[in-house]
Structure 1
Amino acid sequence: MKFSENWLRELVEIKADRAALAHALTMAGLEVEELTPLGENLSGVVVAEIIGAQKHPEADRLQVCKVDAGSGEPLQIVCGAPNARIGIKVPLATVGANLPGGIAIKAAKLRGVESFGMLCSAKELGIDNDASGLLELSSDAPVGRPLADYLGLPDASIELKLTPNRPDCLGLVGLAHDVAALFGSHVKVPAQAEAAVTGAACRGIRLDAGADAPRYLGRIIEGFDPTARTPLWLAERLRRAGLRPISAVVDVTNYVMLELGQPLHAFDNDTLQGDIVVRHAHDGETLKLLDGSEVKLDTGFLLIADEKKALAVAGVMGGYDSRVTDATHNIFLESAHFAPAAIMGRARKLGMHTDASHRFERGVDPELPRRALERATELLLAIAGGKAGPVLVAENPSDLPKPAAVGLRRARLKRVLGVEVADAEVARIFTALGMQVETTAEGWRITAPSSRFDIEREEDLVEEVARIYGYDRIPTHIPAGELALAIDPEARLNELAVREQLAAREYYEAVNLAFVSHALLAKWGIGEKLVPLANPLSADLAVMRPSLLPGLIEALSHNRARQQERVRLFEIGRVFGAGDPPVETPSLAIVASGHARAEQWGEAARPLDFFDLKGDLDALIAWGGEPQRWSVHADGLPGWLHPGRGARVARDGQTAGYLGALHPQLAKTLDLGPDVHVLELALEPLLGRRLPKAQPVPRFPAVRRDIAVDVPEQMAWSQIEQAVRSSLGAALVELRLFDRYSGKGVEAGRKSLAMGLILQDASRTLTDDDADHCVRNAVAALEMSCEAKLRG
């Protein structure tokens, strides 16, 4: 936001110099990014008129001008500006004047011709960067008047670096409220009077965009003079705000935008057909814009259209075919409120950034359109004449934002700021900011004006008091150090313990972005329940990751490409699944490749295999103290896992994750070798821990019985273990698998497993009959559920 200091001082009384004003704005969160003094030390520079001009006898590019400076006799000035000509009024630096930049004006001879002063460009005067020629003044500029008085100098151009939550300060009137609160003064902005309606021209307006465009106003102004020149005071304010004066209509709309913060647009009324329609664009619809570019739109764009064609991209830029030209005498002037979400990102999608989009996507006061339309009408009629028709209004009140009261507790304010602010000062601050204040027993109820989109909760009100009261007035205290330490529940492991355990097993922790590309997920065959980003940073970061493994494998591949033969990485983070809202699941992933052990002399090198990674998983499970609740199964594997070297990991029968080697086809696609093994688990089941419970040492001895059964080769030990434990219950203290055999004496396709049953009863000594009964129950269960046969 760039503006003239003098303009701001006209709107609000500021009892401070320029440096103090800039400091106060910055300390209030409205950072002054640049401050450029304009027209300093212009004494001796006056308005002059060129009344004669001849070619210099000794130089082709110089002219000898006769200049009327209002002092009686014309002055002779040698000038090389290309636009120097008879009849124009320009600035004249007389002999003795000192211009910005240290230029001292003296009488001189140029190529043998005397010159008594210098005709000046805007750059030489320090009021603009234009050095292409002399600064041409209005034809009614009074000859001989000091230029500083005529142009309202000295002044300064101030540029603020506003945060996105302060769109109200993108207009001088909104900024004036903050300045009034800072300096204890009042805003000097009169109520906007309605322009006299002298015309009857009307046009229908239809709102077909729902909540995206809840309010649209327009007015037809007929018979204005398109050649009317913008007044000097208005043109100068635009220049000092960084805008170039163009024409009366454009300059007025820009001026009102800077003054109030409401973007406006004018259409050539004679090019419009039928009603104005505010609607969404059709997919693939095209429009030629004011800058001459033709854009292709989709249904996410808002359009201003008539009954035949599109006229403008709402909140961004007008169309070329309906633009106001030098031949335009009748205009349709629009002023609207658009929902910020409907404009956000649209200009960037078209590869542009406009003053209108900058304001609309941050939020413009929904009550401003009427006031801005009346103000623009008032200025345009005064400058270019014409007849103003009635204000045409279309709105959906139910879709307009409604300010809500927010409570501020006195005790909360004091606790957060660390200083007690007087009640009267708090009320003054909010009143000066244009807010309604209601005193309550605990503090205040504050209703923000419709322009303050950022006031939503108590913390926002605390911030307002802090920045206006002054951060420099809030004392600095050393923290007391009284920390409320959170105690981890005993039934849950700390994530740090998992990290330390993995680090002790030679894994390095990796941290990857939570975004991945569609293309990478397609390689993994993952395409369901994805959470796409509405506004991704790039195409490679367009989806929230549904798994940690794709990103972790990319890190592994990156390391292997840099001569790291043995890579072992893990990551703990969240994965995302589709839902309303999206489902976030804390997860753990491990990837490993290369040799099972680091290179050494005591053990021969061998490649990593499934059981190495399973050993790491068993070590993590053992920390929870309940390994019997976990099981590994060969069914239900995802497509990215090797069908013969992978497993599904379950806790209490519920799938918790997957373990094994990458599928050969995926490994080939990712340019990896066959030795890459992965593990991914939901983190919460892994963090569960059995609470330690004291119990007496058993008084009665344990009994061991060994049995050997042959079972189908594909039968998993987890299923066998579950069958035995279920059949024996509390009597079984421990189950030990101590032998596996297949070959001679065992049928093809089967295997022999020998296991020890450790039996014990806390209340008595088990007899041989008790032990034999347990063995019979275990064998029966195995025969029924595992196709087992007892071996002799």
Structure 2
Amino acid sequence: MRVPLSWLREYVDLPAGVTGREVADRLLAIGHEVEAVEQLGAGLKGPLVVGQVLAIEELSGFKKPIRHCQVDVGDANGTGEPQSIVCGATNFAVGDQVVVVLPGGVLPGDFQIAARKTYGRMSEGMICSARELGMSDEHDGIIVLPPGQQVGADAIELLGLVDEVLDIAVTPDRGYCLSLRGIAREAATAYGVALRDPALLDVPAGTGPGPAVNVEDTAGCDRFVARAVTGLNPEARTPLWMQRRIQMAGMRPINLPVDVTNYVMLELGQPLHAYDRGQLAGPITVRRATAGETLRTLDDVERTLDPRDLVIADDRGAIALAGVMGGASSEINHTPGGAVGPTTDVVIEAAHFDAMTIARAARRHRLSSEAARRFERGVDPRAAGVAAQRAVDLLCMLGGGTAEPGVTDVDATTPPTPVVIPADHPDRVAGTSYGRDTVVRRLQDVGCGVTGADELTVTPPTWRPDLVGPNDLAEEVIRLEGYHLLPSTMPTLPPGLGLTARQRLVRTVGRTLAGDGWIEVQCYPFVGDAAWDAFGLDADDPRRTAVRLSNPISDEEPLLRTTLLPGLLATLRRNEGRGNSDVALYETGLVFHPRPGGGRIERLPVDRRPSDEELAALDAALPEQPRHVAGVLAGARERAGWWGEGRPAGWADAVRAAQLVADAARARVTVRQAEYAPWHPGRCAAFVLVGEDGAERVVGHAGELHPRVVTALGLPARTAAFELDLDALAGASGGPVQAPRVSTFPVATQDVALVVPEATPAAEVAGALREGAGELLESLRLFDVYTGQQIGEGYKSLAYALRFRAPDRTLTVEETTAARDAAVALAGERTGAVLRGA
């Protein structure tokens, strides 16, 4: 909303000399976002005067029309003689009054005017267009003033060229601020001065029926006021002061009837529409559109209407899309000599439409308008009669019309619902003490009616449909008292048991990965089918079955993620594109799996605690949301330097990170080779949990991504990744951490090299060795893998270091050798392993 400061002063006694910036600061303090304060006329310097064209000489021989004009500027030039001015505009004639800047004047943009010879004639000044004066972007011709202006008068004051305009970003809940009346109320409250409400008009009761109106849909239109004005002068022009205010507010003057409706809308916030009464066929009807019905709107577009659209119609069909835009068939015609005679009789519509209906229609037809912006944010239903009266008064005063005495007022509105609020509720919300008197005063400043003592009954004003609950009222008190005065207080936490086991696990895993050089990120949970296609997932892959959002942020990503990898890989690609090539990123977050048989989520009540059945139904409808942890890495895992050569990141780093997560969760997992998209089949490890009953469950994968996936997503070569189900790992936790026993007896080390088939997982061999070695085994570590001619094709050698120790004695060679042999024997029995060289 653009608010000229000079216009605002008509309704609020602002302190003398206060600037637009100071007013903006006051409005900012009470919660309004002022995006800019525009200084109109900055750098403008006179003499800028009213001139009258006395003679025009058309110059020939040039590529464009050039005119040499004689312009009377009165005594403004010091001589009283006509000014000789060369001009390229053709939209004026002898006798017209224009705006002239004389030599020595300066136009916006530091454009200095001087007498000079051009096109073979001396030009002593310039006849100005609206764009040259900074009034608007119109540059089709120069400004032709309404007749009757004093020649030689100061045009800067006449046109209001020097002013300040506040550009306010009005939030969706404050539709009343899309008007001078609303902003004036806020400014009056901010400065503690009285408001001269422009809506306080005498609206006489009609002495008879007005224009015929039939409202068939009172849910979509609960009030419709219609007034008629006859005998308008087709030659009547919008006065300069009204044109200028409309321009400064960001709109374009058109003709008197339309400008009056726009002016009243800007002033009071009530959108109006003017119909050419001569083009109406029968009574005005408010109804829903019929299937296949069409309407040519004022933007000259033929639109096919939807049955959900609310329209204004006559006997011939729709004549306007209600609350959005009028139709061309009843458009005001203010051009004499056209195919249709100029409009002399108009019907003024001032209606109150349902906000949701208008918002959906505007978006359905992609048709934004000033009226729709106001209706979808909420318009004061009580302002319709006042706005209609104001428009009628202006048309009669400026256009010479006569107001018909009849008034049509179809009123099905309901009064605002009172809200009961404890007097100290704002105190408890803000964490400070305002006191009852302050609360009542601030609510009355807003326009509320307040009764009661310790418990207040507050009736919101009709222009504040957003005030529906105690917290809405508390916000009004807090913002008007000043957000900057709120104390910084920490909430008092009730005693409890601290973090849950799940929260502790997430923090432990985060610290473990951070300590290993990984960086945490948070990604959006939205994906699209393109991600699954890039991953190479089969059509029946369970990960493709995802929750679809009814109102996604992006049509390309309408699904909730079933894996963390798409967001992480997009973040990796973004880092790579910005020069950060050595990256190891991880995320812990929820994934979403549709619950079989999940139903529709119903809105829970807010006036009471939901019942157990309602909560159970809500839980049953929600998707399953396990928490996962995933990571991606690329580039150098160890950088080169004076200490030695670096090492690129690879699949082994991803497997190691996943193993660190499992260890942090104290879950015993088995690592096996696997094939699982989007990983490379030969470089993919599956992490398997084995239950007490022997049942196996895959809880994650790690390894190098498939080259096709890397190419499809534009990732660095050899990108690796892991992902684990953190909730599943937490469920398999081995319980509290047991402190290691410190033994004073020496350790005995035995190394074994076992030859096994190349497809045998090293983890299975290690498991057999651990079980066969018995209680004396302290640790086991794989330190070498060898393949070559000495082993034979299809085989590999796995070298393990076994550490033995007894808690109560020094082990003998015989004991350690026996334990080693038992381990090797069990490994040979289960995996076919044989000692290398045996």
Q: Sort the TM-score into its range (normalised by shorter chain).
A: 0.5 to 0.7
1:334 counterpart residue number: 349
1:240 counterpart residue number: 248
Distance 1:360 1:309 in 2: 23
Q: Kindly tell me: are residues 119 and 638 of structure 1, through their superposed partners in 2, closer, same or farther at Cα, counting changes over 3 Å?
A: closer
Give CA deviations for 1:40-70 in whole Å, capped at 9, x if unaligned: 99897665544x3254999973223445669
Q: Kindly tell me: are residues 306 and 666 of structure 1, through their superposed partners in 2, closer, same or farther at Cα, counting changes over 3 Å?
A: farther
Kept after mapping to 1: 8 A contact 2:378/2:465:
yes
1:78 counterpart residue number: 84
* Partner SS for 2:146: coil
Asked if 1:376 corresponds to 2:391, the answer is yes
Kept after mapping to 2: 8 A contact 1:624/1:687:
no
1:221 counterpart residue number: 228
Distance 2:421 2:36 in 1: 34
Which stretch shows the higher mean deviation, 655-664 or 169-178?
A: 655-664
Asked if 1:259 corresponds to 2:261, the answer is no
Q: Kindly tell me: are residues 72 and 10 of structure 1, through their superposed partners in 2, closer, same or farther at Cα, counting changes over 3 Å?
A: same
Distance 1:415 1:288 in 2: 51
Distance 1:152 1:692 in 2: 79
* Partner SS for 1:64: strand
Give CA deviations for 1:548-598 in whole Å, capped at 9, x if unaligned: 344446567889999999997643112345651654725204367999x99
Distance 1:563 1:65 in 2: 66
Measure how far apart 1:74 and its partner are: 5.9
Q: Kindly tell me: are residues 239 and 587 of structure 1, through their superposed partners in 2, closer, same or farther at Cα, counting changes over 3 Å?
A: same
Name the aligned partner's letter for residue 291 of structure 1.
D
Distance 1:72 1:569 in 2: 78
Distance 1:409 1:65 in 2: 69
Measure how far apart 1:244 and its partner are: 2.3
Q: Kindly tell me: are residues 663 and 315 of structure 1, through their superposed partners in 2, closer, same or farther at Cα, counting changes over 3 Å?
A: farther
Distance 1:649 1:17 in 2: 77
Residue pairs, 1:262-301, within 5 angstroms: 262-269=270-277, 270-271=279-280, 276-279=285-288, 282=291, 287-295=295-303
Q: Kindly tell me: are residues 668 and 654 of structure 1, through their superposed partners in 2, closer, same or farther at Cα, counting changes over 3 Å?
A: same
Measure how far apart 1:157 and its partner are: 3.5
Asked if 1:683 corresponds to 2:727, the answer is yes
Residue pairs, 1:616-695, within 5 angstroms: 620=661, 623=664, 679-681=723-725, 683=727, 686=730, 692=736
Distance 1:111 1:621 in 2: 87
Q: Kindly tell me: are residues 386 and 565 of structure 1, through their superposed partners in 2, closer, same or farther at Cα, counting changes over 3 Å?
A: closer
Distance 1:560 1:124 in 2: 49
* Partner SS for 1:13: coil
Kept after mapping to 1: 8 A contact 2:68/2:121:
no
Kept after mapping to 2: 8 A contact 1:217/1:391:
no
Name the aligned partner's letter for residue 419 of structure 2.
A
Distance 2:10 2:281 in 1: 39
Paired residue for 1:540, among 541, 556, 576? 556
1:585 counterpart residue number: 625
Q: Kindly tell me: are residues 677 and 386 of structure 1, through their superposed partners in 2, closer, same or farther at Cα, counting changes over 3 Å?
A: same
Measure how far apart 1:497 and its partner are: 0.7
Q: Kindly tell me: are residues 347 and 618 of structure 1, through their superposed partners in 2, closer, same or farther at Cα, counting changes over 3 Å?
A: same
1:500 counterpart residue number: 511
Q: Kindly tell me: are residues 425 and 656 of structure 1, through their superposed partners in 2, closer, same or farther at Cα, counting changes over 3 Å?
A: farther
1:468 counterpart residue number: 480
Measure how far apart 1:246 and its partner are: 0.9
Measure how far apart 1:342 and its partner are: 3.8
Measure how far apart 1:254 and its partner are: 0.6
* Partner SS for 1:539: coil
Name the aligned partner's letter for residue 449 of structure 1.
P
Kept after mapping to 2: 8 A contact 1:531/1:577:
no
Distance 2:110 2:244 in 1: 24
1:428 counterpart residue number: 441
Q: Kindly tell me: are residues 294 and 491 of structure 1, through their superposed partners in 2, closer, same or farther at Cα, counting changes over 3 Å?
A: same
Give CA deviations for 1:483-536 in whole Å, capped at 9, x if unaligned: 889753464433111223445677664532211124435774455452324252
Kept after mapping to 1: 8 A contact 2:430/2:478:
no
Name the aligned partner's letter for residue 556 of structure 2.
D
Kept after mapping to 2: 8 A contact 1:219/1:388:
no
1:712 counterpart residue number: none
2:23 counterpart residue number: 21
Aligned CA-pair RMSD: 6.0
1:178 counterpart residue number: 186
Measure how far apart 1:161 and its partner are: 3.2
2:146 counterpart residue number: 138
Name the aligned partner's letter for residue 590 of structure 1.
A
Kept after mapping to 2: 8 A contact 1:263/1:335:
yes
Paired residue for 1:407, among 396, 421, 437? 421
Paired residue for 2:97, among 72, 89, 97? 89
Measure how far apart 1:247 and its partner are: 1.3
2:36 counterpart residue number: 33
* Partner SS for 2:328: coil
Q: Kindly tell me: are residues 71 and 335 of structure 1, through their superposed partners in 2, closer, same or farther at Cα, counting changes over 3 Å?
A: same
* Partner SS for 2:625: strand
Kept after mapping to 1: 8 A contact 2:349/2:388:
yes
2:590 counterpart residue number: 574
- TM, length-normalised to structure 2: 0.64
Name the aligned partner's letter for residue 325 of structure 1.
N
Measure how far apart 1:265 and its partner are: 2.5
Residue pairs, 1:84-233, within 5 angstroms: 85-90=93-98, 135-142=143-150, 155-189=163-197, 190-194=200-204, 196=206, 200-207=210-217, 210=219, 213-219=220-226, 221=228, 223-225=230-232, 226-233=234-241
Measure how far apart 1:206 and its partner are: 1.9
Distance 1:126 1:605 in 2: 62
1:762 counterpart residue number: none
Distance 2:31 2:581 in 1: 53
2:833 counterpart residue number: none
Measure how far apart 1:178 and its partner are: 1.0
Give CA deviations for 1:710-738 in whole Å, capped at 9, x if unaligned: xxxxxxx99xxxxxxxxxxxxxx9xxxx9
Q: Kindly tell me: are residues 388 and 548 of structure 1, through their superposed partners in 2, closer, same or farther at Cα, counting changes over 3 Å?
A: farther
Kept after mapping to 2: 8 A contact 1:77/1:114:
no
Measure how far apart 1:365 and its partner are: 2.9
Kept after mapping to 2: 8 A contact 1:48/1:69:
no
* Partner SS for 1:18: coil
Give CA deviations for 1:338-369 in whole Å, capped at 9, x if unaligned: 44444447656655543223323333334433
Measure how far apart 1:639 and its partner are: 10
Identity over aligned pairs, percent: 28
Q: Kindly tell me: are residues 516 and 8 of structure 1, through their superposed partners in 2, closer, same or farther at Cα, counting changes over 3 Å?
A: same
Which stretch shows the higher mean deviation, 65-74 or 487-496?
A: 65-74
Kept after mapping to 2: 8 A contact 1:570/1:588:
no
Q: Kindly tell me: are residues 570 and 298 of structure 1, through their superposed partners in 2, closer, same or farther at Cα, counting changes over 3 Å?
A: farther
Measure how far apart 1:168 and its partner are: 1.3
* Partner SS for 1:80: strand
1:448 counterpart residue number: 460
Measure how far apart 1:192 and its partner are: 4.8
Kept after mapping to 2: 8 A contact 1:403/1:450:
no
Kept after mapping to 1: 8 A contact 2:51/2:73:
yes
